[in-house]
Structure 1
């Protein structure tokens, strides 16, 4: 894989140069004398930089795995990525996706991001909210979130409008960590992958002519949640 990274560097440099024709980036921070002095003089900074490089390389390898569909990366695939970038919006999207890969919290999430990006480039698709939301959500997913999301997908496949009671019941039956799955559920709601709806259900006592109201939570996948789920299943 190290050879793959090395062989791909020239083409990736070309891609970055292509992106720069649409996006002007200022480097004042990196050129700051204090930042350079700190980087040269501090052993701790040097250690952190080396550790970061290892993590970033792992994330990039994971991205390539998804982008190249488990095949060996080649010039043609990366050249298609460059050709896809033909306006400022696409340039910003590709650059932002790369930044999200580097900031992601899960190598498995990087694989899924790569697969989504591959599909967009190969089919020359216009960007949609679903693409943007899915990639943004993946940046905040841990490995355990991906496993928990699989469980949620299984439930929504059976019934898209799923109650909170059914979710907690499935968590217990599948022997998942309840707290962990609820965290993933809430994260999915806040990242617009899952829609939460509150319903008021009435229980009418015909004899006493009294109705008891109970508010229940129901959840369903958004278009973005479905798209992310399709690529998650495709990759894992």
Structure 2
């Protein structure tokens, strides 16, 4: 069981109550976001707007709203999990601040720990769930060892227990990022089109939420609106 970052006992109890009150299958999505010093200025501001766009779009979709659960893990100097898995209606988007180095490996392992803990809670509550997603966004190169995170991702992806979306920002090292992609080629963001990316991601979440857990779903078109193809 993972450490619950910044989560009070009251929050934990509420998250359990949500599972029993809403038996709909859940889609847990972990956003692992680079907030290191190189993200200062326009990048962090646009990332903040993009995350807000993501939440707003899911809240406007009745099915996705009852299924999607979002956690946010940030890495910039230190690793933090300001948002743990909960009903999106009961979450407050954290203010993202840039600074420090890029401990990407630790951040990914933290996100994986949170996902494993939430899956255990789903099972205990008898709630079905879709294959978890992890979105990893960075504009740099890891400043810590990523081998442990890489091995865990490979095992989970090969076992069909995780889908990873590796997104390169600016001049990010795609070779290193690909090690954490679980076989998925990293896509590079066009400029600072965070809003377009998160709009596409929200449509993807909505589409999966309308399917049956375990069913293969073709993600929506629109990569050209935000990715360099």
Same fold (TM over 0.5): no
Structure number with higher helix proportion: 1
Structure number with larger C-alpha Rg: 1
If the length of structure 2 is used for normalisation, what is the TM-score? 0.30
